[in-house]
Amino acid sequence: MFKNFFPNKILSLSNNLLNSLLVYLILVMFLGLIYSLYISPPDYIQGDSVRIMYVHVPSSFISLACFGIIGIASILNLVFKIKFIPLMSKSLAPVGCTFTLISIVTGSLWGKPTWGTWWAWDARLTSMVILLLFYFGYIFVWKFVSSFNKANKISSIIAIIGLLNLPVIKYSVDWWNTLHQPSSITLTSAPTIHYSMLIPLIIMLAGMIIYLLIIFLMKYKTETIKFKMNKIKNKK
């Protein structure tokens, strides 16, 4: 499976695959929207404001997962120096950054009716802003450092330092007193939310993962082409 991400393989990636993923995305999102805005019930305390959860939670999950992958890939990159790993990490960053921004904005929109404030500098919210700054730093290094090797090294170091922030985000609600509620879904225990809310959440998460895959494949192909073109230019 890993061989499919080799640069030569990704160059032969056809538009048919992207188009079929796009069809799946539209279908899943359509279903997700019907469930999250219409079928799922309002919460007995939060009322209909709970519907923000269906975009807030999947985006937070994806933003953390993307940075986790970038961080681990950066460690592998520094150790094994495999050329296509930085291209893959670089391709994940914009989508991860977008989902972090979505998570912060939708969280703020959810915070106003729930906590009575748009923003509070508590541990969970602040650590998410720090994650966004790490994403910005990572993307800006690739954008403004012209040498590939130099940008690769600096961005890898940023990603590895940023990796330390992920456990802080995850456990901030347990370590400190925060406005943010503890996790309702964990990998180790049964979810504490009702299935009528869990189903739309899973559908929206599936839709966003398909979206992530589409953006990643397009971006990875773009970066591979740019890399090959630079190689050709340097040969000349």
Partner 1 sequence: MNLDFLNLGGYGQFVWPAFIFTFVSCIVLYVKTRNELLKQEKIFSKEFNKKQSAKIEIAKHKEVLSASPIHQTY
Using alpha carbons, list the distances in angstroms from residue 9 to 70, 92, 214, 220, 229: 21, 18, 16, 11, 16
Q: Which is nearer to partner 1, 47 or 182 (CB)?
A: 47
**Site for partner 1 contains 23 (CB under 8 A):** no
Q: Which 3 state secondary structure label does DSSP give 145?
A: coil
Number of H helices, E strands in the chain: 8, 0
Task: Return the residue of 65, 76, 101, 163 that touches partner 1, per CB under 8 A.
Answer: 101
Q: Does 124 bind partner 1 (CB under 8 A)?
A: no
Regarding 98 and contact with partner 1 (CB under 8 A), the answer is yes
Cβ neighbour number for residue 150 with a 10 Å cutoff: 11
Size of the site for partner 1 (CB under 8 A): 35
* Buried b / exposed e along 80-100 (16+ C-beta atoms within 10 A): eeeebbbbbbbbbbbbbbbbb
Per CB under 8 A, which region of 62-70, 101-109, 149-157, 180-188 contacts partner 1? 101-109
183: amino acid identity, one letter: S
| Span near partner 1 by CB under 8 A; candidates 61-69, 82-90, 100-108, 147-155 | 100-108
Please report whether residue 90 would count as binding partner 1 according to CB under 8 A.
no
113 vs 167, beta carbon nearer partner 1: 113
In the window 170-229, what residues touch partner 1 (CB under 8 A)? 211, 214-215, 218-219, 221-222, 225-226, 228-229
